[in-house]
Amino acid sequence: MKGHYSLMARLLYGAGLRLTECTNLRIKDVDFTTNQILVRDGKGFKDRVTMLPEAVKDELSSWINRLKMFHQEELQAGRGRATLPYALARKYPNLSKSLQWQYASQQQNWSGTRRQRCGSDITSLTTRSSARLAPLEDWPKSRSRLTATCLRHSFATHLLEQGCDIRTVQQLMGHKHVETTMIYTHVLKRPGIGVRSPLDGQSRSA
């Protein structure tokens, strides 16, 4: 994957985002100071905080800076309004013009005065198309199962493989029940508990 869609795919994997959470991400929800992403209205209409990967931080910052310049041009042309949730548009008529409320992922081609987020179907199709080009064995069975959701699943699996505690993974994934997160422990490639004993970190006395 290349360009904007590559950045979105790395956010799906690097932050454990659902596809709709990634496409609904607004500029104001990215905190570059604390390296955090605030996911609003996730599954079950709940908010949560997840990590902003260092690997995409500079690229995402550059992308938002380009959006900022583009947004100014759109406002001068009488466009550049973002769609707002609930009744915010009526309560704050000018809020939709704010840069902070713009989608971090935006449609390339659009019409009208309202700036729309990038569609989930387009991102999903791009992911599947890229999967067909991946040098994987067991073609075409393996590649047919590679979707945008697989990137989120890999996020949880690899954190558990690194020894991250399951409660932390549960919070990052936004799971209501820890039993949902425990499903990922069944597919770990590494046998054993996966964490290091504190005794192994102690220096031996003479």
Return the pLDDT at 109: 47
Return the pLDDT at 192: 55
Domains of the chain: 3-192 (1.10.443.10)
Closest CA to 152 of 117, 190, 183: 183
Radius of gyration of the chain (CA): 20
Angle at 148 between CA 147 and CA 152, to 5 degrees: 115
Return the pLDDT at 110: 47
| pLDDT mean by block of 10 residues, the chain; 206 residues | 83 92 93 95 88 94 92 88 85 91 72 49 53 56 67 91 90 93 76 64 61
Query: CA-to-CA distance for 95 and 99, rounded, in angstroms?
Result: 9
What is the torsional sign of CA 106, 108, 114, 117? Answer: negative
Return the pLDDT at 171: 94
* Sequential DSSP letters for 4-32: HHHHHHHHHHHH---HHHHHT-BGGGEET
Q: Are 75 and 97 in contact (CB under 8 A)?
A: yes
Residues constituting the chain: 206
Query: CA-to-CA distance for 161 and 61, rounded, in angstroms?
Result: 29
Return the pLDDT at 68: 92
Return the pLDDT at 190: 58
**Helix/strand/coil for 38:** strand
